[in-house]
Structure 1
Amino acid sequence: MTTSQSLFFKIQNIYYAGGLPLAFKLKLCIAGIISIFPWFLKPLLYRLLLGYKVSSSARIGFLTMIAVDKADIAKCSIGSFNFLVGPYSLTIAENVTMFCRNTISVGSWVTDSKNADYVRYCYLGKNTLVADLHYIDPSGGFELQEGSWLGGRGSQFWTHGALAANRKITIGSNCYIGSAVRFKPGTTIGNGNIVSLGSVVTKSFALENALIGGSPATVLKEDYNGKYK
């Protein structure tokens, strides 16, 4: 399956999902049309047609879909074929870099009255980087603090699940998250930490400047000075 076919099926699944309001389906259609325009026209179109707050200096790539409740997007660089869709609030701060084929999405189920306690937001702080093919579930809240990287590809960040009362995932400033990492709901990583490739993070780590890894993840080395930039 090609990247464009994969994106089409994602859009189709969201569009025909039960419980999705007609207004949001219209928003999805408009976002799809905007996604094919040149990058320098997209900020204006998002502001005029969808009411988003988007910097004129934001570069948003070909077939990147942004269909959310609210969006506040500063000067940033977002690549092609990203899928930022669902009933949540999106904040992308200054100098964020996002490569290609990332998904930040949640279904309409989160708007049901029984799920009213879901905070539904994604925050990408200043100078953060999201590489390729990562999946972020923003239903319970997701924060990537200033200067942190989601490196490599294929990591997953889940903020809902059975018996999950504390849902928000917070990654502190100046952290590096390696490829194919898994985060469970309610986990927090302190500042300056490195999470190694393939780790499964099932609890929070408040310490700083450590190397964290394994399944389940543990502290492998404290006061770690490894460089990732």
Structure 2
Amino acid sequence: MKKILTGIITFFCPSFLMRFLLRCMGHKIGKNVKVGFSFLVIKKIELGDHVRIGHFNLFLNDRITLQSNVIIGYLNIFKGPFGLILSEKAAIGNKNYLTRARLGITYGESNLSLGELTKVTTGHHLDLTRSIRFGDFSILAGIRSQLWTHGYYHADQGKDRVRIDGQINIGHNVYIGSGCIFNPGVNVANAVHIGGGSVISKDLDQPGMYVGQGLRYLENNLETIKLKLDRIEDSDLIEEVYSKKANPK
């Protein structure tokens, strides 16, 4: 009921009344916060001073924590059991789609975290099966990049398959060009620049410029893949799920 009432207040009430009513409901709302015609159907809201949320956004996630001077544009969709954590002056542009499946398909906690002055621009798709974390002063630029934190590996025959999950970590001062695709579990070091249209399937651990790689063949099978991964022991999961092993660094 609290989530539904929060959504009604954020959509229909002018900002001065919205701030008062949300505070009465236990949400933390700073000074001079402005929310356009957007539904925030959320359990827990923490907004710092001078936060701006534009029109026609749909928030159906668990919780948001936005520090001061954060800006969210218009027509974004945030859907699923994850947290949205934006540091000071971070921004999310327009028409982005952030999603996570329900618990039971997913497990544990997941967050999208943006550091100071970090920005996600327009029309990107972020899969939050596991967390995605950006450092400070970074940008997911252009349009239509995809960040995936889960994937599948199938047996050579039959129905056997496993899901492979992995958190994505992106450092400080990173630039990501338009139309990039990130595979699960990759880590990007500080001061990395990634050219448009690149596929990032392994860690980028040295500063500098990276551009798209050619397609290559890797000989593998399902049992070999399993040996390289950690199995998730969670009785509520509906399928066999593995996680990439932690980076030893």
- Do the structures match in fold with TM over 0.5? yes
AA in 1 matched with 2:7: A
Q: Verify: 1:181 aligned to 2:180, yes or no.
A: yes
Single out whichever of 33-42 and 145-154 deviates more from structure 2.
33-42
**Alpha carbons 1:86, 1:106 under 8 Å: kept:** yes
CA distance in 1 between counterparts of 2:4 and 2:183 reads: 29
CA deviations on 1:33-75 (whole Å, 9 max, x unpaired) are 6246556666666653743111241100001122222221112
- Gap change, CA 1:194 and 1:96, over 3 Å in 2: same
Task: List alignment gaps of at least 5 residues for structure 2.
Answer: 28-42, 153-161, 216-249
Q: Which runs of 4+ in 1 moved over 2 A?
A: 26-51, 163-166
How is 1:102-117 mapped onto 2 (pairs within 5 angstroms)?
102-108=96-102, 111-112=103-104, 115-116=106-107
Q: Verify: 1:137 aligned to 2:131, yes or no.
A: no
AA in 2 matched with 1:133: G
CA distance in 2 between counterparts of 1:164 and 1:216 reads: 25
- Give the number of the structure whose residues are more often helix, by fraction: 1
Deviation at residue 121 of structure 1 after TM alignment: 1.3
CA deviations on 1:95-152 (whole Å, 9 max, x unpaired) are 01221111111122xx01x643x54211111110111001111121100110000000
- Gap change, CA 1:182 and 1:74, over 3 Å in 2: same
Question: Normalization by structure 1: what TM-score?
Answer: 0.72
- Gap change, CA 1:35 and 1:167, over 3 Å in 2: farther
AA in 1 matched with 2:175: Y
**Alpha carbons 1:40, 1:59 under 8 Å: kept:** no
Aligned length, in residue pairs: 188
- Gap change, CA 1:115 and 1:98, over 3 Å in 2: closer
How is 1:51-130 mapped onto 2 (pairs within 5 angstroms)?
51-75=44-68, 76-108=70-102, 111-112=103-104, 115-116=106-107, 118-130=108-120
Report the counterpart of residue 214 of structure 1 in structure 2: 212
CA deviations on 1:177-229 (whole Å, 9 max, x unpaired) are 00000000001110011110000111111111x11111359xxxxxxxxxxxx
Question: Normalization by structure 2: what TM-score?
Answer: 0.67
- Give the number of the structure whose residues are more often strand, by fraction: 2
AA in 2 matched with 1:189: V
**Alpha carbons 1:170, 1:187 under 8 Å: kept:** yes
How high is the sequence identity, in percent, across the aligned residues?
27
- Gap change, CA 1:154 and 1:29, over 3 Å in 2: farther
CA distance in 2 between counterparts of 1:197 and 1:40 reads: 42
**Alpha carbons 2:6, 2:22 under 8 Å: kept:** no
- SS of match in other structure, 1:62: coil
- The CA RMSD measured in Å over matched residues stands at 2.5
CA distance in 2 between counterparts of 1:149 and 1:40 reads: 32
CA distance in 2 between counterparts of 1:215 and 1:31 reads: 44
Task: List alignment gaps of at least 5 residues for structure 1.
Answer: 1-22, 218-229
CA distance in 1 between counterparts of 2:8 and 2:131 reads: 25
- Gap change, CA 1:147 and 1:127, over 3 Å in 2: same
